[in-house]
Structure 1
């Protein structure tokens, strides 16, 4: 693996399951859409940074067969059989990378909380990789469970879990799980125009009455439990938690996720911005 250990979660079968489930959930949330930025009907060059197992990049290649789609990740974990217009490469997106300076669309999905300097990455994308008029889209979770009816108790194990995760990522790895809240202002400050944001509240668990939202909530519950297992395997240990602490946290989380009286959700932020078009 390139730069082994840089990414704190394992790239194993469980990670693949979680990514595949998350991909399906996000498509369900967006009514089948893969993106929200107004990139038009015929983008020619697309790059997916932190592509993971590559589902998004592959489906974009199928959706836009005339486009070149590039997926970039630290690990060579993508499938071999892919559309002819899709390519995967192994690289660190925080390093100097000069694949092209004429991308129509740059995509990052749930990558920012494992990037040490998102602002620097945004600036590099603007200066080096987007063509004039091209778009950057950032899709991220804000790790603050909420509820519209106040049913999350203050001592909820769900809240505690995300509080601990934030401390672990910040103090152990230097990552900021809160960064998505500041992306719109950061993009505007760096020179992007037409910056927009939309927020969805993805339910956690099968408490919603609406069948679609109940399906999304079921996905989200499983994703969180799988994520908790991955955190227990390495990050919690490296943070200094002992087995008893970890087990108590996970048992409490599992109980909280199964309580249908708690109408919890996680905010999902979709932010996009455009590189100014070239002058006359």
Structure 2
């Protein structure tokens, strides 16, 4: 197994395409990975990041007083205490350009955080996102919740249960930038 950040890349050939998804918290120095990727690509080929930016955007004050709002704050706090910035994906476009990539494009999609939109396509996207959160993503953040230092194990379980209810609640209108 190789460490893309700390070790030289071991490919004996250049790549045509490098895809990274959900890697925001994996690297201490993503610019090192970008630099290695640039030198590991055939000229004119592509790197693609598909990342979420853990920066929930509520309609007005939709998250105030909700378990979901509390969970988001505690996850961000725990990540910061672990030395991780869950919003750093918003810097990737500039960092890719600084690294030497050209013709850098960024497309941000504000994914509905639940089944509340009236538009059919947006509603379906919100349903999928809420299901993804409920099927494992919420629980996968327990280490960061624990790092916040504000909840016991049983309190984390109770909060996670309430968050799963909140993401299914069409009255709580929020987006997650992806």
- TM-score class, shorter: 0.7 to 0.9
Among residues 105, 117, 141, which one is paired with 1:208 in the alignment?
117
Among residues 223, 232, 235, which one is paired with 2:132 in the alignment?
223
Among residues 125, 130, 153, which one is paired with 1:243 in the alignment?
153
Greater helix share, structure number: 2
Distance 2:30 2:53 in 1: 15
Q: After superposition, where does 1:138-149 map in structure 2 within 5 Å?
A: 138-147=49-58, 149=59
Question: Residues 107 and 208 from structure 1, CA distance in 2 versus in 1: closer, same or farther, beyond 3 angstroms?
Answer: same
Distance 1:142 1:258 in 2: 21
Distance 1:162 1:216 in 2: 20
Q: After superposition, where does 1:82-231 map in structure 2 within 5 Å?
A: 90-96=1-7, 97-127=9-39, 129-147=40-58, 149-150=59-60, 152-172=62-82, 174-225=83-134, 226-231=136-141
Q: Is the Cα contact below 8 Å between 1:116 and 1:176 reproduced in 2?
A: no
Q: Give the structure, 1 or 2, with the largest relative contact order (CA under 8 Å, sep 6 or more).
A: 2
Cα shift at 1:160: 2.4
CA-based RMSD of the aligned residues comes to 2.2
Specify every segment of 5 or more residues in structure 1 that has no aligned partner in the other structure, as ranges: 1-89, 269-280
Specify every segment of 5 or more residues in structure 2 that has no aligned partner in the other structure, as ranges: none
Distance 1:200 1:231 in 2: 22
Greater strand share, structure number: 1
Counterpart residue number, 2:173: 263
Instruction: Please give the secondary structure, in 2, of the residue aligned with 1:114.
Output: coil
Q: After superposition, where does 1:44-63 map in structure 2 within 5 Å?
A: none
Distance 2:68 2:47 in 1: 32
How many pairs does the alignment contain?
A: 175
Q: Is the Cα contact below 8 Å between 2:79 and 2:147 reproduced in 1?
A: no
